[in-house]
Amino acid sequence: MSTTISSEQVSQIVNNLHQDPFEVLGCHPFEQNGNEKTWAVRAYLPKAQAAWVICPTQRKEYPMQSAHHPHFFECTIELPELNNYQLRIHEGERERVIYDPYAFRSPKLTEYDLHLFSEGNHHRIYEKLGAHLTEIEGIKGVYFALWAPNARNVSVLGDFNNWDGRFHQMRKNNNSVWELFIPEIDVGANYKYEVKNWEGHIYEKSDPYGFQQEVRPKTASIVADLDTYQWKDGEWMEKRRHSDPLAQPISVYEVHLGSWMHASSREKPALIGKEGESVPVSEWNTEARFLSYYELAHKLIPYVKEMGYTHIELLPIAEHPFDGSWGYQVTGYYAPTSRFGTPEDFMYFVDKCHENGIGVLVDWVPGHFPKDGHGLAFFDGTHLYEHADSRKGEHKEWGTLVFNYGRNEVRNFLVANALFWFDKYHIDGIRVDAVASMLYLDYCRKDGEWVTNDYGGRENLQAVDFLRQVNSVLFNYFPGILSIAEESTAWPMVSWPAYMGGLGFNLKWNMGWMHDMLDYFSMDPWFRQFHQNNITFSMWYHHSENYMLALSHDEIVHGKSNMIGKMPGDEWQNMPTFAPCFPICLPILVRKPCL
């Protein structure tokens, strides 16, 4: 029986060196002496002492024998068809019965999917890559797919295989995407990818397209189903689709969910979850804990509504490892942070906002990402998502890496990610962070630390093309939304349509106005009479863009003081100045744009 496969092939499987384990493992038909069709069933089962193949049609077991290796098993079965067979595995003192992952050969990714992805035009690639509940040949499980073209080998790690990369080795498809269907695992399973480079170094990575991650400091991705939540905002969504957001008043409350309000860890979680049910909240070891998405829905939304705001802007809620970053160093672009609950919990929050007439904006960070080992950095043993040249691929001042916008698959990752938040979470707009850092190759770089574009200039032409593409795609799929640029330079036509040569946003933050106004109000009232130009200067350029007048978190972080702290004098003096000027901290106001 061992003659059906070579020892070299077995060695490749045992040492996780085979890029298509389906060529060896699973069931393989062959003719034997002109008899009835015969199947060779092979399995690599680390830790197993014995194994049997269970045929569902015959209700019969076939013992497997070791071939070339103590944990590599094989047997032959004479049957016309062999479908949905199981393996009974004896490991130490326990036995288990599983469906063989290598019996399911149907790929979920089509050639057309791979073609669009390689072009950078697969707008819903998040429905293909990542971890997805699916059913193949009547068996339910999870299909895993990962883009890692330069990896030597990739395996799925998880609590379902004791985090052992030998069990679920993936197949490389079309020389770029690795895939594997694992039967009988479900929502809630924790997993990572074990990525091995050509030098044999191993990296354990979270899923770039993972929909949920463990609460930090843990870093595993979690299998999630985003299609079970029953949305109740159909009327809101239909009205938005037929409206022009620039033709109506907008007043936005900017909030960082992690610091807006805390609850005591000893306080019994009170809230009001779905239909009045009590909501379980994670246990915390500190004296204070974050509010959950459910609690925020019942505390933040009434406050925002009472204050008269039309929108809530959330600082980045995509998964990030460090609380102190405020979310601007993202490691899970497709996962709302688990600090506050599950993806379904965040859907509930957005749904409640819409029920109360409040739009939801989310800060989006396509300009850079952190170097954390479980994230996108050096993903497949090469500079996959970032530029290899640090003069292009690193923000040394921030300690982060820059996306390679010239690589189609990377651009696709980001374009699809922007679309994803509107598609799956029904958000109403994005505020794109640090656009200036994307537009200029010399941003925060000294001479000799950056390289020019092909024409000798400082403009990042690939980033410009990316921004135009992402905005064109968003407004094509979701009319009536907002796309706001946090851009602090004089780059022209930021809020002009892409087909007219603009970047495609429909609003731009007026950072100059914010700086001038705060500088003005920080002066003693007597001196303001000599600085009225601070108030009027923005009139010189206000017609060139659709501007938002913003008083944002940028002006209170890094020791800049809060709004009332910027007023001159002591508390007795600055309160009368503050009160009529700023009715509340951190509003974002927008004038009716000049169209």
* pLDDT (tens digit per residue) in 340-355: 999 999 999 999 999 9
The H-or-E segment that residue 429 falls in is strand 429-432
Chosen domain end from 222, 256, 281: 222
- What average pLDDT does this structure show over 481-498? 93
Residue 578: pLDDT band with limits 50, 70, 90? low
Instruction: Establish whether 275 is a catalytic residue.
Output: no
- The span from the CA of 113 to the CA of 125, in Å, is 8
SS3 per-residue string spanning 274-315 = HHHCECCCCCCCCCEEECCHHHHHHHHHHHHHHCCCCEEEEC
With beta carbons less than 8 A apart as the criterion, state whether 146 and 384 touch: no
Pick the more confident residue, 536 or 592.
536
- What average pLDDT does this structure show over 438-456? 93
- What average pLDDT does this structure show over 318-322? 93
Range of the domain at 210: 111-222
Cα distances (angstroms) measured from residue 381 to each of 154, 194, 203, 384: 11, 11, 8, 8
Give residue 175's pLDDT.
82
Is the model's pLDDT at 516 over the cut of 90? Answer: no
Kindly report the backbone phi and psi dihedral angles of residue 42, in degrees, each rounded to the nearest multiple of 5, phi listed first: -130, 145
Supply the pTM of this predicted model: 0.90
Judgement on whether residues 459 and 480 belong to the same structural domain of the protein: yes
Residue 538 lies in a domain: no
Judgement on whether residues 74 and 216 belong to the same structural domain of the protein: no
Judgement on whether residues 243 and 338 belong to the same structural domain of the protein: yes
Residue 498 lies in a domain: yes
Domain count, the chain: 3
Q: Give the CATH number for residue 327.
A: 3.20.20.80
Instruction: Establish whether 486 is a catalytic residue.
Output: yes
Chosen domain end from 73, 99, 125: 99
Residue 72 lies in a domain: yes
Question: For the chain, give me the number of helices (H) and strands (E)?
Answer: 14, 30
Give residue 287's pLDDT.
63
Residue 586 lies in a domain: no
Residue tagged active-site, from 127, 409, 428, 433: 433
Is the model's pLDDT at 238 over the cut of 90? Answer: yes
Give residue 508's pLDDT.
93
Give residue 265's pLDDT.
60
With beta carbons less than 8 A apart as the criterion, state whether 43 and 86 touch: no
200, two tokens: 């044999």
Give residue 263's pLDDT.
81
The H-or-E segment that residue 590 falls in is strand 587-590
Judgement on whether residues 293 and 409 belong to the same structural domain of the protein: yes
Spell out the alpha helix ranges (H) of 150-248: 234-241
β-strands 50-55, 130-136: how paired? Answer: unpaired
Judgement on whether residues 262 and 384 belong to the same structural domain of the protein: yes
Judgement on whether residues 77 and 195 belong to the same structural domain of the protein: no
Cα distances (angstroms) measured from residue 126 to each of 11, 109, 145, 231, 423: 35, 11, 10, 20, 11
Residue 6 lies in a domain: yes
- With a CB cutoff of 8 Å and minimum separation 6, the contacts of 445 are 391, 396
Give residue 51's pLDDT.
95
Is the model's pLDDT at 585 over the cut of 70? Answer: no
Q: Give burial (CB, 10 Å; 0-12/13-18/19+) of 585.
A: middle
Residue tagged active-site, from 127, 351, 409, 486: 486
Give the least confident one: 178-187, 259-268, 312-321: 259-268
Q: What is the mean pLDDT of the chain?
A: 88
Is the model's pLDDT at 313 over the cut of 80? Answer: yes
Judgement on whether residues 203 and 247 belong to the same structural domain of the protein: no
Residue 591 lies in a domain: no
Chosen domain end from 99, 121, 147: 99
Give residue 285's pLDDT.
45
Residue 592: pLDDT band with limits 50, 70, 90? very low
Is the model's pLDDT at 399 over the cut of 80? Answer: yes
Kindly report the backbone phi and psi dihedral angles of residue 488, in degrees, each rounded to the nearest multiple of 5, phi listed first: -110, 10
Give residue 264's pLDDT.
67
Residue 561 lies in a domain: no
Give the least confident one: 232-246, 277-291, 452-466, 580-594: 580-594
Give residue 82's pLDDT.
87
Q: Which of 78-92, 94-108, 461-475 has the highest mean pLDDT?
A: 461-475
β-strands 26-30, 38-44: how paired? Answer: antiparallel
The H-or-E segment that residue 518 falls in is helix 511-521
Judgement on whether residues 254 and 373 belong to the same structural domain of the protein: yes
Give residue 568's pLDDT.
76
CA torsion 48-103-74-195 (nearest 10°) is: -60
The b/e string for 198-222 (b: 16+ C-beta within 10 A; e otherwise) is eeeeebebbbbbbbbbeeeeebbbb
Judgement on whether residues 8 and 91 belong to the same structural domain of the protein: yes
Give the least confident one: 94-103, 300-309, 431-440, 523-532: 523-532
Is the model's pLDDT at 443 over the cut of 70? Answer: yes
Judgement on whether residues 128 and 44 belong to the same structural domain of the protein: no
Under DSSP, the state recorded for 316 is P
Q: Give the CATH number for residue 177.
A: 2.60.40.10
Judgement on whether residues 272 and 366 belong to the same structural domain of the protein: yes
Task: Convert the pLDDT of each residue in 262-291 to its tens digit.
Answer: 886 655 444 434 444 444 444 444 467 889
Task: Convert the pLDDT of each residue in 41-90 to its tens digit.
Answer: 999 999 999 999 999 877 889 999 998 899 999 999 988 888 889 999 99
Judgement on whether residues 340 and 482 belong to the same structural domain of the protein: yes
- The span from the CA of 347 to the CA of 303, in Å, is 19
Residue 504 lies in a domain: yes
Is the model's pLDDT at 236 over the cut of 50? Answer: yes
Is the model's pLDDT at 318 over the cut of 90? Answer: yes
